[in-house]
Structure 1
Amino acid sequence: MTTIAPEAGGAASTGGPRRTTRRGRGVMSSAGLCLAVGVAAVLFLVPFYVLVRNALSTDAEITGEDWTLFPTDVRWGNVTEPFDDPTVDFAQALENSLVVGVLHTVGTLLVCSPAGYGLARIPYRHADKVFYAVLFTLMVPTAVTFVPGFVLVSSLGWIDSYRGLIVPGLFSGFTCFLFRQYFLGFPKELEEAARVDGLGHWGAYWRVVVPNSLNFFAAIATITFVNGWNSFLWPLVVGQDPSAWTVQVALSSYMTNQTVNYHLIFMATAISLLPLLLVFLFLQRWLVQGIAQTGIKG
């Protein structure tokens, strides 16, 4: 009895430091994770800080040698300057980008989601060949199809119109691929129950699959809207008239061979980012969930 007690006490005494060591390592790992996240957040926010700081500064202060954290003379009047510029109708450009972004997003969902569902759920003889053909379009550089696409749009008389800006980009092979990957993991039991009720593939898609996939649709809609809003080269060529310019084309007009209006560029850029920030603010939860459900994570 006298010999066992010290061993038990020794075990208890060694268990305490081990628990303390594990607890300390856990605290250190948590602190390291918080530090890494904090550094990443700062690095992410630095461009936005520079953007807002320069947007409220003068050109001399932006290009000067002495850098200050905040403008010495905050120019709040710069906020309205993009809308007062007579050479560029910035408000019209924002409206064009909003219309193009929304219609492009809705059209892409209506075209690519049924295509992805058909590739995932409807069995037919050449399904694999069609799927490989869709994947092949991802390997074709955009520059290869740019000139034929412009010739086609021009022959249809769609220059300087919403049709020319939106219709050629409605189908996306990558978006179709994402929808197929998602629908492959969709519970088949729900669709089988819909077929028992007399619904076909189309009815099951609209009445069962779509209502139960709104998170994924919201994620794809967010990505598509951002891509449509940031598109530059195609709107630059198709929207030749200033009234058909999108916001990205309007931003490029502030920089010419003769002059560069720095504070105007920064302020107009900051204003053009507001719709994207609002989209991410309200849909970020669905964006993360939707990407996690594509089946291509990891």
Structure 2
Amino acid sequence: MAVGERTTGTLEPIGFSQSIAGRIGTVLRWIALFIAVVLFLLPFYLILRNALSSEADITAPDWTLFPAHLQWGNLRQLFADTEVPIARALYNSAVVGILGTAGQLLLASMAGYGLARIPYKHADKIFYAIVATLMIPGAVTFIPSFIVVSSLGWVSSLRGLIIPTLFSGFAAFLFRQYFLGFPRELEEAARVDGAGYFGVFWRIVVPNSLPFFAAIAAITFIANWNSFLWPLVIGQDSSSWTIQVAMSTFVTAQTINIHELFMAVAVSILPLILIFAFLQRYLIQGVTQSGIKD
């Protein structure tokens, strides 16, 4: 009993110290999480605060959490501005984002599946050529792409904004790597039923890879929505401006329209927030799972 009592007596301080250390670690993790949340939400607060403020409130030397009078009329003023067609710019960005994303998913997924599954002696060479294009800076191909688009008469048109960006070598690379790990048993079962590569792709591979498709779609849509340089060069007419180009016109060498700029930013990020809210589950699944349902 004496030995047991000494053993118990020596274990109690150790267990107590471990419990304290565990609680301290939990508190530190929560503090770190709180700091990260604040830093993440701070830009959104600044956008919302300035979007509902007047020019005087934004440039005032004394900072307030929110202005005394929220300027909800800034939203109406934004869409009533005749010099900057925000409604048209939002429409153009939506068309470019949706059609560009759909086109990239279609072309890149078919290219990736062909490189991963269709036997062809030059498949590896084609794959390496696609990977090599990822090493070429965009500035190198910018001028040749513009010359081609200009010669086709696609300047200041949605075709010029969408078609040159339909194929993505990086997306094809991701799809190819994903399809290499796709279970061949499912495809072989479909081929027994007489399906070819095209039928297997649409009937078996695509339905069982929706989380991965959704993850690529979200990333591609955000990239297309936030694209600025190419739409700036192609959209030479205000009717073909995207939202990013339209927002840039609020800050010029002559004028700075701060409150409309922040309101435009608030409006422009709303679709991205909605897409992330609806697709965040698929974003996680696309990274952590193979896309095969039990």
C-alpha distance in 1 between matches for 2:45 and 2:69? 16
Which position in structure 1 is the counterpart of 2:240? 244
Which position in structure 2 is the counterpart of 1:152? 148
> What displacement does 1:10 show?
2.3
1:257 matched to 2:253: yes
Which position in structure 2 is the counterpart of 1:227? 223
* Partner amino acid, structure 2, of 1:94: L
C-alpha distance in 2 between matches for 1:17 and 1:198? 71
C-alpha distance in 1 between matches for 2:16 and 2:279? 42
Deviation by residue 1:245-291 (Cα, 9 ceiling, x = unmatched): 11111101111111101001001110111111100111111112213
C-alpha distance in 2 between matches for 1:174 and 1:256? 35
* Partner amino acid, structure 2, of 1:181: Q
* Partner amino acid, structure 2, of 1:196: V
Native 8 Å contact 1:236 1:249 kept in 2: yes
1:38 matched to 2:42: no
Which position in structure 1 is the counterpart of 2:124? 128
The equivalences for 1:1-298 within 5 A come to: 5-293=1-289
* Partner amino acid, structure 1, of 2:228: F
Deviation by residue 1:182-233 (Cα, 9 ceiling, x = unmatched): 1122122211222222222221111111000101101110011101111111
Native 8 Å contact 1:93 1:246 kept in 2: yes
> CA 1:120/1:28 → structure 2, altered by over 3 Å: closer, same or farther?
farther
> What displacement does 1:293 show?
4.8
Aligned to 1:212, the other structure's residue is in SS state helix
Deviation by residue 1:154-201 (Cα, 9 ceiling, x = unmatched): 111111221111010111111111111211221222112222222222
C-alpha distance in 2 between matches for 1:67 and 1:164? 44
Task: Give the alignment's TM-score, normalised by structure 2.
Answer: 0.94
Native 8 Å contact 1:97 1:246 kept in 2: yes
Matched positions, count: 290
Native 8 Å contact 1:108 1:172 kept in 2: yes
> CA 1:21/1:180 → structure 2, altered by over 3 Å: closer, same or farther?
farther
Native 8 Å contact 1:112 1:175 kept in 2: yes
C-alpha distance in 1 between matches for 2:216 and 2:39? 26
C-alpha distance in 2 between matches for 1:265 and 1:20? 56
Aligned to 1:65, the other structure's residue is in SS state coil
> What displacement does 1:56 show?
1.0
Native 8 Å contact 1:182 1:293 kept in 2: no
Q: Which region of structure 1 is more displaced relative to structure 2, 256-265 or 61-70?
A: 61-70
C-alpha distance in 2 between matches for 1:118 and 1:233? 32
Q: Identity over the aligned pairs, expressed in percent? A: 59
TM-align CA RMSD: 1.4
Gapped regions of structure 1 (runs ≥ 5): none
> What displacement does 1:16 show?
3.4
* Partner amino acid, structure 2, of 1:147: I
Gapped regions of structure 2 (runs ≥ 5): none
Task: Give the alignment's TM-score, normalised by structure 1.
Answer: 0.93
Aligned to 1:213, the other structure's residue is in SS state helix
Native 8 Å contact 1:56 1:78 kept in 2: yes
C-alpha distance in 1 between matches for 2:64 and 2:97? 37
